[in-house]
Amino acid sequence: MPATIQMYGPSGTHIPPPSPSNQQKAHHNGSDPSAICAKLVTVNRGRREAVILKLNKPATIGRNPRCDYVVAGTFVSGVHCTLSAVRSPNGGVIVSCQDSSRNGIRLNGHRINKTVVILMHGDSLEIPDSLTFTCQHIWKDLHEKVELFDPEHPTQSARTMTVGKYLVTNQKLGSGSFATVHLAFDTSHTNCRQVACKTIRTKKECDKRQIFKEISILNRLEHPNINRIYDTEQNDEFMFIFLQLCTGGDLFTYIIAYAEKESRLCEAEAKFIMYQLLIGLLYLHSKMISHRDLKPENILLHVPGPYPRIVIADFGLARPRAYQETLNVCGTVSYLPPEGILALDQEHLKYVGMPSDCWSAGVILYVMLWYDIHILKTLSFTTVQWRSSFRRRVDI
């Protein structure tokens, strides 16, 4: 007789397995906040059970009776770990696990403790001397590829490629006009540390110069609110930049999640995020570097959840000697200061990157406190169109 599948929602109550039609709806309905994203399946006392994970609705596993899934055992902490699912910038879903236990957990045999990891489809999550869960993604990213950098074919299973000491997966964390970010593993690290791999196709020599400038800037920076660089690799076709992994998505996606519920960030949380952004900018400007493309899409959340630590990312348009005036305007038009807008049509006009960053930060604060979903999505659309049109004007 086959084992019964017991599924538990955020309230801890048993719910029946979804019918095929409901599974299909959860798979494709990206706009439904209640859509089931993933489940962690285990065998508990001979029964198959699963922790159900929904978008933006964390689930806890632990010994405490208030946890969404209760596990008894001497080595199990009150709240052993927290599972989360958030939208990724490219429209998929990032499923993550944050360990808060004394004894840690094992991801595919590697011990992790007091950190956050991304869970891919098929990953094994073990609580020591207790249960083992298998992660099953239900809501797939329809834009994933079979080959890591193949723009044509949809994927059927997770794949990896070796780049130096790293294993780069086809789990896409984000993408833009000029780069794609994938989940990767540092095999030289004791516990096979997860990192983000920014992959840029280098067709021209000028592309390489621009990338090396970004790498040079990142190597000079070390701050909790600025994305940290670990390593770089390159081959004849691609440049690979290995960066600190952030599991909470980006600020724009976070704001959109509120706007879709006809809500917005509370003033206290917006103030907390803005404070971190200004602290990061202060550090950046003290190094005489301007970012020149500050916007919510380029601000990452270190972990999912409210009041997050934010990390400034994407230094592709950053410029040293930021106190100097420049004739070349770059960035995103919706976040440019008035002098930058004027300089688009009047090429003799100059503007300075550091004040431009401050203006962009002010626009970001306004966007955090705004909740019109249509205007927010228009800002995002304008960003993409402008960047692709004006990239050639970036000064090297």
The Cα-based distances of 196 to 187, 229, 250, 378 in angstroms read 13, 9, 14, 28
Pick the CATH number of 251-393 from 3.50.50.60, 1.10.645.10, 1.10.3720.10, 1.10.510.10: 1.10.510.10
State the catalytic residue, choosing from 68, 186, 250, 293.
293
The predicted structure's pLDDT at residue 246: 97
The Cα-based distances of 288 to 2, 10, 285, 352, 354 in angstroms read 65, 47, 5, 12, 8
pLDDT of residue 381 exceeding 90, the answer is no
Note if 314 is an active site residue.
no
The predicted structure's pLDDT at residue 259: 82
Geometric angle at alpha carbon 194, from 188 and 200, rounded to 5°? 95
- Which amino acid, one-letter code, is at 85? A
Q: Does residue 198 have a known ligand-binding role?
A: yes
Give 226-242 pLDDT, tens digit per residue.
Answer: 999 999 999 888 999 99
The predicted structure's pLDDT at residue 373: 63
Geometric angle at alpha carbon 347, from 345 and 350, rounded to 5°? 110
CB 80 within 8 A of CB 71: yes
pTM, two decimal places: 0.81
Domain spanning 5-137, CATH class: mainly beta
Domain boundaries, the chain: 5-137, 160-243, 251-393
The predicted structure's pLDDT at residue 158: 63
pLDDT of residue 6 exceeding 60, the answer is no
Report the side by side order of strands in the sheet with 36-44. 14-15, 5-8, 47-54, 36-44, 132-137, 124-126, 105-107, 110-112
Least confident of 32-41, 152-161, 357-366: 152-161
CB 316 within 8 A of CB 98: no
Cα gap 377→372, rounded to integer Å: 9
pLDDT band at 389 (very low <50, low <70, confident <90, very high): very low
The predicted structure's pLDDT at residue 281: 96
The predicted structure's pLDDT at residue 384: 32
Structure-token match 């929602």, residue found: 9
Structure tokens at 306: 């409210």
Sign for the CA dihedral angle at 209, 215, 218, 219 comes to negative
First to last CA, the chain: 68
Sign for the CA dihedral angle at 306, 311, 314, 318 comes to positive
Counting DSSP H helices and E strands in the chain, the numbers are 7, 25
Give 68-107 pLDDT, tens digit per residue.
Answer: 999 998 899 999 999 999 999 888 899 999 999 999 999 9
The predicted structure's pLDDT at residue 18: 37
Long-range pairs for 181-188: beta carbons < 8 A, 24 or more residues apart: 182/148, 183/118, 183/120, 183/245, 184/242, 185/160, 186/230, 186/242
Give 258-310 pLDDT, tens digit per residue.
Answer: 888 878 899 999 999 999 999 999 999 999 999 989 999 999 999 999 999 99
pLDDT of residue 113 exceeding 70, the answer is yes
Supply the DSSP string of 349-367, one letter for each residue. --EEHHHHHHHHHHHHHHH
pLDDT band at 152 (very low <50, low <70, confident <90, very high): very low
Q: Is CATH 1.10.300.10 the right assignment for the domain spanning 160-243?
A: no
- For all residues of the chain together, what is the average pLDDT? 81
**Nearest to 131, CA basis, from 56, 67, 37, 195:** 67
> SS3 for 199?
strand
How many CB atoms lie under 10 A from the CB of residue 191?
Answer: 17
